[in-house]
Amino acid sequence: MAKKPRKYGSNTETINTLLVDGNALFKRGFFGAKDQYNRNGEHIGGLYQFITIVRKLLKDDLYHHVFVFWDGKFSGKQRYDLYTDYKISRNKDFVHGTHPVDEEEVREKILIRQYLEELFTRQLMDNTNSGVEADDFIAQYCKTKKSNELITVCTSDRDLCQLIEKDIKLYLCDLKKFVTIENYQEFFKHHHTNSKLIKIIGGDQSDDIKGIKGVKETTLLQLFPELTTRRMDLDEIIKSAKVQQYYRIDNKMKPLKTLTNIIEVNTDGIQGKDMYRINELLVDLSVPLVDKPNKKLLKELRRPIGDIDSRGIKNVYTYMKRDGIDEFIYNFSTEFLLPFKELIEREKKQSTIN
pLDDT at residue 6 above 70? no
- pLDDT given for residue 43 in this prediction: 93
pLDDT band at 4 (very low <50, low <70, confident <90, very high): low
All residues at 6 or more sequence positions from 332 whose CB lies less than 8 Å from its CB, including other chains:
320, 325, 326
Sheet holding 15-21, edge to edge: 122-125, 65-70, 15-21, 149-155, 168-172, 177-179
- pLDDT given for residue 102 in this prediction: 84
Return the percent helix, strand and coil in the chain, to nearest 5: 50, 10, 40
For 147, other C-beta atoms within 10 Å of its C-beta total 8
pLDDT at residue 21 above 90? yes
User: Which of 257, 275, 258 is closest to 210 using CA atoms?
Assistant: 275
Per-residue pLDDT reduced to its tens digit, 303-354: 988 888 888 899 999 999 999 998 888 888 878 899 999 999 989 887 776 5
Handedness of CA 197, 198, 202, 204 (dihedral sign): negative
CA distance 14 to 16: 6
Q: Which H or E run contains 179?
A: strand 177-179
Mean pLDDT of the chain: 92
pLDDT band at 81 (very low <50, low <70, confident <90, very high): very high
CA distance 178 to 43: 29
Residue 13 to residues 18, 143, 151, 344: CA-CA distances in angstroms? 17, 19, 14, 19
3-state SS class at 323: helix
First to last CA, the chain: 31
Per-residue pLDDT reduced to its tens digit, 277-302: 999 999 999 999 999 999 999 999 99
pLDDT band at 50 (very low <50, low <70, confident <90, very high): very high
CA distance 275 to 269: 8
Residue pair 221/227 in contact (Cβ under 8 Å)? The answer is: yes
Residue 304 to residues 65, 185, 300: CA-CA distances in angstroms? 10, 38, 9
CA distance 57 to 274: 42
User: Which of 296, 316, 295, 308 is closest to 348 using CA atoms?
Assistant: 308
Which residues pair with residue 204 across a beta bridge?
Answer: 209
Residue pair 14/6 in contact (Cβ under 8 Å)? The answer is: yes
> What length does the chain have?
354
Per-residue pLDDT reduced to its tens digit, 163-221: 999 999 999 999 999 999 999 999 999 999 999 999 999 999 999 999 999 999 999 99
Per-residue pLDDT reduced to its tens digit, 100-143: 778 899 999 999 999 999 999 999 999 888 889 999 999 999 99
Residue pair 267/210 in contact (Cβ under 8 Å)? The answer is: yes
Share of the chain above pLDDT 70, in %: 96
CATH code assigned to 15-190+287-338: 3.40.50.1010
CATH 3.40.50.1010: which residues of the chain? 15-190+287-338
For β-strands 15-21 and 149-155, DSSP reports them as: parallel
All residues at 6 or more sequence positions from 163 whose CB lies less than 8 Å from its CB, including other chains:
138, 139, 142, 153, 170, 285
Q: Where are the alpha helices (DSSP H) in the chain?
A: 22-32, 45-60, 77-82, 103-118, 134-143, 195-202, 217-223, 234-250, 257-264, 275-283, 292-301, 313-323, 338-353
Residue pair 207/192 in contact (Cβ under 8 Å)? The answer is: no
All residues at 6 or more sequence positions from 188 whose CB lies less than 8 Å from its CB, including other chains:
161, 195
- pLDDT given for residue 12 in this prediction: 59
Buried b (16+ CB within 10 A) or exposed e, 90-105: eebebeeebeeeeebb
